[in-house]
């Protein structure tokens, strides 16, 4: 009798272990497939899948039971990439555009998320989600950047799209992390501008930089996030009409700032924009953003490194439609940062040789990383002096 009980006991324990193991396996599978998660890590392409990531190939169609997939996988392609780990392969968006339905969809509970993207091999590409731009002109293979996104309809819809016509728009990895159950962005400083303002990649080590890229180090990041939507070559008409202002207007709210600096490229004859036209384009953007309750700040661009006179004084007050920007700020009663004059005073203080050292080699217009840092410092100091908080 004792022997039978012992045998039954071991058989029972063994059976329970098998059931438990099967249950754990099915539970793990069920969690990945059936439960709607608030964080994900995706590894795209047909190669190996990194530990901790969910593998997704170009053929994976959105499935409501697993809560993710491509809306139109027939418009996706698996491609190689030159990086390592998640960067060793990618998917390519064959059709694209901010309004395209060729998106990667992820079901998410409504809330505020941090979304981090890693591109594959691409010369220049932008990231769109919810039908608007989120990151502008990421350059170089395996470029990485992140943004905050409020989800209000239960699903993230993301794609990689135009940054430079004719190049491949690829995605190697996507990480999504819930920040808050409230689908409202943190207080945000939005920035519009051109190549002297925009981001360059890798963000933490690029030789060239725009002051918008360097501004976060002068901002209280517990109070604000910085969203830099500036792009190289941009003009006022393009910023207003081609999607960047649209992205800002979708999210900007009272308590946010919008810093706008344009004029350098508008003065180029090929862009066919008179100073009067420039002023009215800028006015339209100022009024649209002011109507949201956010604070608009206008900025004038810095001059060229070579704008020194014989006395060693740097001055570029007549460049880049500066007078129109100053007049507009007064007429619309918005703060003005005359970065043109502030930077000239700084350049004069350090002299012509040191000023050249703040610009790209052989380039008198575009600042290097050190120069962009100084411009960002001047911007932040002036905003703080004018009473804007968070700096």
CA–CA gap between residue 268 and residue 232 (Å, rounded) = 14
Q: How far apart are CA 245 and CA 104, in angstroms?
A: 24
Residue 99: closest CA among 172, 180, 161, 170: 161
Find how far residue 258's CA is from the centre of its chain: 15
Kindly write down the DSSP assignment for every residue of 51-86, as one continuous string: TTSEEE-TT-B-BTTTTEEES-GGGEEEEE-SSSGG
Q: CB of 364 within 8 A of CB of 305?
A: yes
Contact status, residue 76 vs residue 45, Cβ threshold 8 Å: no
Quickly list H helices, the chain: 2-34, 211-214, 236-241, 244-251, 275-290, 322-332, 339-350, 352-356, 369-385
Cα separation of 53 and 88, whole Å?
14
Q: Is 363 a catalytic residue?
A: yes
Quick check: is 366 catalytic?
yes
222 part of the active site: no
Name all contacts of 71-74 with Cβ < 8 Å and 24+ positions apart: 71/101, 71/102, 71/103, 71/104, 71/105, 71/157, 72/101, 72/102
For 90-104, give the DSSP string.
EEEESS--TT-S--E
Tell me the backbone φ, ψ of residue 306, rounded to 5 degrees: -95, 10
Catalytic residue among 89, 256, 266, 366: 366
Q: Which residue has the tokens 């919810």?
A: 130
- Marked catalytic residue, from 195, 299, 316, 344: 195
Q: Can you tell me the distance from the alpha carbon of 13 to that of 364, in angstroms, rounded to the nearest whole number?
A: 78
> Which position among 82, 363, 364, 389 bears the catalytic label?
363
> What distance, in Å, lies between the first and last C-alpha atoms of the chain?
81
The residues carrying an active-site annotation are 195, 363, 366
């Amino acid at each position: 009798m004792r022997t039978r009980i012992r045998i039954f006991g071991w058989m029972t324990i063994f059976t329970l272990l098998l059931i438990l193991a099967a249950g754990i396996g099915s539970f793990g599978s069920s969690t990945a497939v059936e439960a709607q998660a608030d964080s994900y890590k995706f590894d795209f392409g047909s190669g190996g899948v990194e530990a901790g990531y969910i593998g997704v190939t170009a053929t994976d169609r959105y499935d409501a039971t697993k809560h993710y997939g491509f809306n139109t996988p027939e418009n996706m392609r698996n491609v190689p990439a030159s990086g390592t780990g998640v960067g060793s392969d990618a998917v390519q968006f064959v059709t694209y555009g901010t309004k395209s339905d060729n998106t990667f969809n992820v079901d998410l509970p409504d809330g505020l998320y941090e979304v981090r993207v890693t591109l594959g091999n691409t010369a220049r590409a932008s990231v769109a989600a919810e039908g608007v731009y989120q990151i502008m002109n990421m350059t170089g293979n395996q470029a990485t950047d992140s943004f905050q996104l409020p989800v209000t309809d239960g699903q993230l819809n993301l794609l990689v799209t135009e940054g430079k016509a004719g190049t491949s728009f690829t995605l190697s990895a996507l990480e999504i992390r819930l920040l808050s159950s409230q689908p409202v962005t943190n207080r945000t400083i939005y920035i519009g501008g051109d190549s002297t303002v925009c981001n360059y990649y890798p963000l933490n080590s690029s030789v060239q930089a725009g002051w918008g890229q360097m501004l976060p180090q002068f901002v209280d990041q517990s109070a604000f996030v910085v969203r830099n939507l500036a792009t190289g070559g941009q003009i006022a008409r393009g910023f207003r009409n081609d999607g960047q202002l649209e992205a800002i207007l979708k999210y900007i709210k009272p308590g946010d700032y919008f810093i706008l600096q344009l004029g350098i490229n508008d003065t180029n004859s090929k862009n066919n924009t008179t100073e009067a036209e420039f002023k009215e384009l800028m006015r339209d953007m100022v009024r649209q953003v002011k109507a949201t309750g956010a604070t608009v700040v206008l900025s004038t661009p810095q001059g060229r490194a070579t704008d020194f006179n014989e006395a060693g004084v740097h001055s570029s007050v007549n460049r880049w439609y500066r007078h129109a920007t100053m007049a507009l700020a007064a007429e619309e009663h918005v703060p003005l940062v005359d970065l043109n004059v502030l930077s000239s005073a700084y350049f004069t203080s350090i002299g012509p040789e040191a000023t050249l050292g703040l610009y790209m080699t052989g380039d008198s217009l575009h600042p290097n990383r050190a120069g962009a840092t100084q411009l960002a410092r001047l911007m932040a100091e002036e905003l703080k002096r004018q009473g804007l908080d968070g700096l």
